[in-house]
Amino acid sequence: MTDVRNAGLIANVKRRGGRGDRSALGTWFWDIDRMLLLLTLFLIAIGLIAVAAASPASAVRYSGEHHKIAPLYYFWRQLMWVGVSLPVLFGVSMLPVATARRFALIGAAAFAVMLAATPFVGVEVNGARRWLGVSFAQFQPSEFLKPLFIVAVAWVLSLKSKEQELPTVLITGGMTVMVGGMLMLQPDFGQTIIFCTVWMALLMIAGTQTRVLVGLVAMVPAGLIAAYMFYGVARRRIDAFLFPGIEGEGAGDHFQTNAAHSTLTAGGWTGTGPGGGTAKFGLPEAHTDYIFSVIGEEFGLIACAIIALVFLAIVVRVFVKLLDEQDEFKLLAASGLAVQFGAQALVSMAVNTGLAPSKGMTLPFISYGGSSMIALSIGMGLLLAFTRRNPFLTRSPYVVKWGG
């Protein structure tokens, strides 16, 4: 009787394309978190619409007397970047866990070297050296390093279960300090905060001793005070945020946050309609840092709330899926990638709403940018790879027995 039931279950799995489908695509389809993938594709689609709405404003702003930019220039370029990024996302998500980890570790080392070189040989844009390369081949090493670095930190922390004496907090702390130092040389204080936030979140998820966590949390105010006193970029941003009437170098930051807030609320709850926004023409970076405000003006605050909920749904989906995860590395890597994704979205939206100081932080999968889009696709591909599970192998003890 048992053999008959086993045969029936196996036949059902084969019929529905589970383990019976030995092709890479078939295996991927049944293992992948399809809801997580769908939410990601939804954000990418929203991003294309948003960039199309913001493109005319940026085209006007960056057109010169002898160099006219077409109204939808940034939209067509973003469409190209999406075409490049989607195969990257799908390809990385198909990697076995061991291969994905190896890819991330090698990539993290390579981009860390590039990040170290950026302040010295990088291309200067708006007073900061964050880019390497020339012309259309420029890229931002820090964007690519983020997801790869998180996986590297997760791997080191996961070694604690095998080597109890390994000082994982000191090792990962040293890695984070080095990356933070290289970022601040560019300067890029916002990205430094993201790296540090994800590191501390991973320490908590890894079960680091309470006294260590309390000590690190207690150091946060001291670090912010030190940044304010000795790091000019942080001081100007904080002054412009806390003292909006101040004149001087930080006045431009205050203008940006004011313009973003005004644009965000200009369309009310339902927006002016696609192409109907006018306040967006006053934004300095309508297609990148302040695209959330453009969405607010043309599609309304309700659309902004829906987008915020989609970001929240992605993060919650990952953590709910990880509740019964037994592999410590996969748990740490996936949760770290989810925290980084959510933190970046939160900072970007907070800047646009005036709840945080001005900071060049893109909205994941929505803001324009080749480096950002490809790097985010790598990160989401890794996240999908680390959360892959075959539902048919866990549905019945008979199927588990058949699968080995």
What is this structure's pTM?
0.86
Which pLDDT score is estimated for 244? 66
Cis peptide before 187 (omega within 30 of 0): yes
Q: How far apart are CA 340 and CA 338, in angstroms?
A: 5
pLDDT for 2 equals: 47
Q: pLDDT tens track of the chain, all 404 residues?
A: 445 555 554 455 444 444 455 576 777 878 889 999 999 999 999 999 999 999 999 998 888 656 788 889 999 999 999 999 999 999 999 999 999 999 999 999 999 999 999 888 888 777 678 888 776 678 889 999 999 999 999 999 999 888 888 899 999 999 999 999 899 888 888 888 899 999 999 999 998 888 988 888 888 888 888 877 877 777 777 777 776 655 555 555 667 777 888 889 888 898 898 888 888 888 888 888 899 999 999 999 999 999 999 999 999 999 999 988 889 999 999 999 999 999 999 999 998 988 877 777 889 999 998 889 999 999 999 999 999 876 554 444 444 433 33
Cα 179 from Cα 229, distance rounded (Å): 21
- Of 93, 46, 171, 86, the residue nearest 334 (C-alpha): 93
From the number of C-beta atoms within 10 Å of its C-beta (0-12, 13-18, 19+), residue 138 rates as: middle
Q: State residue 404's pLDDT score.
A: 35
Residue that has been written with the tokens 């048919």 in this structure: 392
Query: In this structure, what token pair is assigned to residue 335?
Result: 């949760």
End-to-end CA distance of the chain: 20
Please say whether the beta carbons of 145 and 111 come within 8 A. yes
Q: What is the rounded CA–CA span in Å between residue 39 and residue 233?
A: 35
Amino acid 291: pLDDT: 93
pLDDT at 22: 59
Phi, psi of 36 (to 5 degrees): -65, -40
The CA distance from 338 to 332, in Å, is 10
Characterize 70-82 residue by residue with b for buried, 16 or more Cβ atoms within 10 angstroms of its Cβ, and e for exposed.
ebebbbebbeebb
119 and 132 in contact (C-beta within 8 Å)?
no
